[in-house]
Structure 1
Amino acid sequence: MAATMIGGAFLSATVHTLVEKLASTEFLDYIKNTKLNVSLLRQLKTTLLTLQAVLDDAEEKQINNPAVKQWLDDLKDAVFDAEDLLNQISYDSLRCKVESTQVGSKTNQVWNFFSSPFKNLYGEINSQMKIMCESLQLFAQHKDILGLQTKSARVSRRTPSSSVVNESVVVGRKDEKETIMNMLLSQRDTTSNNIGVVAILGMGGLGKTTLAQLLYNDKEIQQYFDMKSWVCVSEDFDTVRVTKSLLESVTSRTWECDNLDILRVELKKNSREKRFLFVLDDLWNDNYNDWDELVSPFIDGKPGSRVIVTTRLEKVAEVAHTFPIQKLEPLSNEECWSLLSKHALGNDEFHNSKNTNLEEIGKKIARKCGGLPIAAKTLGGLLRSKPCI
């Protein structure tokens, strides 16, 4: 039963990784410049999301329902085939990027994309994608026959982030942290209004919030800034809520007022002539006017004041940043394995021979995490609760 649970979580992590990859800006930008069928990729993403919604229910029912177990086993094969195909596309994207840096003119770059050999490659991938979409759609149809449902009880709003971080289980990001630290502590001003904005960009689950937490709690940062505040913005962008949260943080008191003008005046007053660090985590709104209104109370801060923005959307980063955008890359397989093992056993060393099987399973899962820390952490926690696998 434990092995079955791990297998189900393994599948969930893979589907999550594929959906995130299909939605990533880098992946979409590459697709636009090729002969790949965009509608098939959208169809693939939609079908994966449909299947993802019922995986929790299927993982529970497979224990007593052989038909559901067979459905899951067959689905794993189909999903792993989809993973192989998307990896092939990612590899081709990387190859084109490398080749484009070696070609001097844009004319040659365009020729590289659309020359005969690549047309053949894209045609082959499109054919595979069509077969894959049809296969996964059959699984989506069978879910209804099997009575699989979305586990609505488990679907809830994501818990807002906070500034608190457990550094003992953080893996990697040392270079990224050092780069951003230099920006935060830089004496040079990047704008005329004393505010420097560092945008951390990356797909969901890549560790943007964790990196911001590490920076926020760094001792050097704490000594350098006069005040700090952390707000989780999220998709539901509300200027009043964000402004109030910042004000409540810097004043250490609750504000009952919802009058935006009063809140902004008070925030401006409390941040005036102070070097502050504000973190706006998980920002989705890419409207420049909204951004300008949000940060207008910050302009009287002491020179050297900084704002860190974390976001999944490149356009948001482009609107907000004053320093170079910091785009996070996936963790390596080794880093994923280290993170997974920290959560599985509380450390990243397997000295005890009885954990040989667990280590083998863990390393295999780590390779399937797609470099996403959230996947490694989630599956590590599941392995921790099943030590007898």
Structure 2
Amino acid sequence: MAATLVGGAFLSATVQTLVEKLASQEFCDYIRNNKLNSSLLAELETTLLALQVVLDDAELKQITNTAVKQWLDQLKDAIYDAEDLLNQINYDSLRCKVEKKQAENMTNQVWNLFSSPFKTLYGEINSQMKIMCQRLQLFAQQRDILGLQTVRGRVSLRTPSSSMVNKSVMVGRKDDKERLISMLISDSGTTNSSIGVVAILGMGGVGKTTLAQLLYNDKEVQDHFDLKVWVCVSEDFDILRVTKTIHESVTSRGGESNNLDSLRVELNQNLRDKRFLLVLDDLWNDSYNDWDELVTPLINGKTGSRVIITTRQQKVAEVAHTFPIHKVDPLSDDDCWSLLSKHAFGSEVRGGSKCPNLEEIGRKIAKKCGGLPIAAKTLGGILRSKVDAKEWSTILNSDIWNLPNDNILPALRLSYQYLPSHLKRCFAYCSIFPKDFSLDKKELILLWMAEGFLEHSQCNKTAEEVGHDYFIELLSRSLIQQSNDDGKEKFVMHDLVNDLALVVSGTSCFRLECGGNMSKNVRHFSYNQGVYDFLKKFEV
């Protein structure tokens, strides 16, 4: 089930990359300068665009519609074949460039000898393009039969957050809370205005919202501010919607008006000489202009007013913050067990006293959470009121993505879905690396280069420079993490993020570790050498 939830998103990224490649100036110039049928390529691009706009709808419907799922699975194979065809054309383009240089030092007779065998190649490519166009057009016709439609905007299935929090199940955030409260009630942290902005940064599911809720409901914080407002911003940033929500909270009345200017003017007047606390939860937009537009009506608030933002993206935090960015780290294994047991048993005491035989298994399950509170809470909920050690062992030995009532995947999946198409492929490719594997930045960039993931024809950067930018972007989004063990720079993927990469890559990537069936459609393969290997391990 987990793989089906994200497969469409990964396919959409591949289609987007193909469309961009077909539209590139370098590709178009090569087609015009050789005997390739440009009308077939235009037809291929049009068909891909027609398919791309319904992939989000197909991704949602495949969960309950087996016909749509089958359509997506078959389309994936066709898209990969189209990718191979374009890679073949790219290869021939590079070959021609190399031979053209070599030809400058050869006689015309020798050049004709070298170039003549490739006259038949263009005919073969034209034939393959015609077959590919017909194949993809069939999928485009079937989309209407299946009732697939264009989905406008991002589809979010998450419940919006609120300011309410259950303090009885909170663990491990005392130091974070104290440090942040000191920012909220201090006199520093403001620049040219009276507003100080506290940015809480961390990967999906690490507990940013919960930490903001704890601050919002703290007695000392409540006494310090005249007014408090909570807004769940989420992925679809709409300045009118956010402004209306703030306006309604400040004025205590529903806003019928959609006039942004009048809302901003009235909001500005109502906040004058009031010390307020505004929480903007789950902010994704990293545009400075949008941020400036949003906070401009707030500048007349009393000195000491604060805005808290929670975000997964370093760029968003950098745009907004006036205090040092506060990064939320994963919980310790002990804190994860404490949180899991509270949800499993109702209280930590009961978990330790009445069911001592479950603690050893429970601590192993907690370690599997990788320090993410959302994972500990989800697994604790699954185990609630279960006292049979066999049931706990089943959860311990299960793939975390295939457990019932899973809230972990949706939380992390957003980070993937919000990636640009070129980064989706680079991220999914990382699934070939095992958990806890130390990523070598230079080596990974070279691997991305070899796979053709680094589009640099439209900029004045080398492929290596583009790869560096891609890597830094994944790092800033917490999909790759940096540690400095033993004083050395080290990059790793969180275990659950590694699992996410494995899920989104579907059958296109395969890691040979402890068995498993390898699909015939595997495109990227890795093998970890064992102490004692044998040939049977590689039998297909």
Residues 183, 189 of structure 2: 8 Å contact kept: no
Q: Which residue is equivalent to 1:201?
A: 201
What does residue 386 of structure 1 align with? 386
Greater RCO structure (CA 8 Å; 6+ sep): 1
Q: TM-score, normalised by structure 1?
A: 0.59
Deviates more, 1:341-350 or 1:285-294: 341-350
C-alpha distance after superposition, 1:37-93 (max 9, x if no partner): xxxxxxxxxxxxxxxx99xx8xxxxxxxxxxxxxxxxxxxxxxxxxxxxxxxxxxxx
Q: Which amino acid aligns with 1:255?
A: G
Contact 2:345 2:351 in 1 (8 A): no
Is 1:280–1:308's contact at 8 Å kept on the other side of the alignment?
yes
- For 1:245 and 1:303, the matched residues in 2 are separated by 23
Match of 2:244 in 1: 244
Larger radius of gyration: 2
CA distance in 2 between partners of 1:187 and 1:352 (Å): 44
Measure, in 2, the Cα distance between the counterparts of 1:353 and 1:338: 13
Verify the 8 A CA contact 1:275 1:304 in the aligned structure 2: yes
Contact 1:189/1:303 (CA < 8 Å) preserved in 2?
Answer: no
**SS of aligned partner of 2:157:** coil
Q: How does 1:48-59 map to 2 (within 5 A)?
A: none
Letter in 2 for 1:296: T
What residue in structure 1 maps to residue 258 of structure 2? Answer: 258
Does the Cα contact within 8 Å between 1:291 and 1:320 map onto a contact in 2? yes
Counterpart in the other structure of 1:313: 313
Q: CA deviation at 1:348?
A: 1.5
Match of 1:122 in 2: none
Contact 2:345-2:385 at 8 Å conserved across structures:
no
8 Å CA contact 1:195–1:307 kept in 2: the answer is: yes
Q: Which residue of 2 aligns with 1:183?
A: 183
Name the CA distance, whole Å, in 2 between partners of 1:279 and 1:245: 12
| SS at structure 1 position matched to 2:231 | strand
Instruction: Supply the distance in 2 between the matched residues of 1:162 and 1:300 (Cα, whole angstroms).
Output: 26
Q: Secondary structure at the match of 1:349?
A: helix
The Cα offsets for residues 309-348 of structure 1, whole Å up to 9 and x where unpaired, read as 0000000000000000000110000000000000000111
Letter in 2 for 1:212: A
The 1-side partners of 2:382 and 2:188 are apart by: 46
Aligned to 2:347: 347
Q: Which residue of 2 aligns with 1:280?
A: 280
Residue type matched to 2:297 in 1?
P
1:76 matched to which residue of 2?
none
Q: 1:351 to 1:222 in 2, by over 3 A?
A: closer
Cα distance between partner residues in 1 of 2:353 and 2:272: 60
Tell me, yes or no, if the aligned pair for 1:198 and 1:321 is still in contact at 8 Å.
yes
Between the aligned partners of 2:366 and 2:210, the Cα distance in structure 1 is 19
Once the two structures are superposed, what CA deviation does each residue of 1:352-378 show, in whole Å capped at 9, x if it has no partner? 776244323321110010100000000
Residue 350 of structure 1 contacts residue 359 of structure 1 at CA under 8 Å; is this kept in 2? no
Give the match's secondary structure for 1:323: coil
**Structure 2 equivalent of residue 298 of structure 1:** 298
Structure 1 pair 358–323 and aligned structure 2 pair: CA distance change class (3 A): same
Corresponding pairs, count: 244
Amino acid of the residue matched to residue 358 of structure 1?
Answer: L
Q: Higher mean Cα deviation, 316-325 or 355-364?
A: 355-364
C-alpha distance in 2 between matches for 1:182 and 1:199? 14
Question: Quick one: distance in 2 between partners of 1:188 and 1:201?
Answer: 20
Which AA in structure 2 matches 1:259?
N
CA displacement, residues 185-231 of structure 1 (integer Å, 9 cap, x when unaligned)? 00235211100000000001000000000000011111110101000
Cα displacement (A) at 1:350: 4.6
Alignment RMSD: 2.5
Q: Tell me the distance in 2 between the aligned counterparts of 1:205 and 1:172.
A: 15
Alpha-carbon distance between aligned partners in 2 of 1:348 and 1:376, rounded to the nearest angstrom: 13
Task: State the shift of 1:253 in Å.
Answer: 1.1
Residues 207/189 of structure 1: CA separation in 2 closer, same or farther (3 Å cut) = closer
Aligned-pair distance for 1:156? 6.0
State which drifts further: 344-353 or 260-269. Answer: 344-353
Match runs of 1:1-389 below 5 Å: 157-350=157-350, 355-388=355-388, 389=391
Structure-2 change in CA distance of 1:247 and 1:341 (3 Å): same
Counterpart Cα distance in 2 of 1:324 and 1:169: 28
Relative distance call for 1:290 and 1:355 in structure 2 (3 A) is same
Structure 2 unmatched runs, 5+: 7-58, 64-154, 392-540
Aligned CA distance change for structure 1 residues 385 and 258 (closer, same or farther; 3 Å): farther
Aligned counterparts of 2:159 and 2:268: Cα–Cα separation in 1: 29
TM-score scaled to structure 2, two decimals? 0.43
Tell me, what secondary structure is at the counterpart of 2:232?
strand
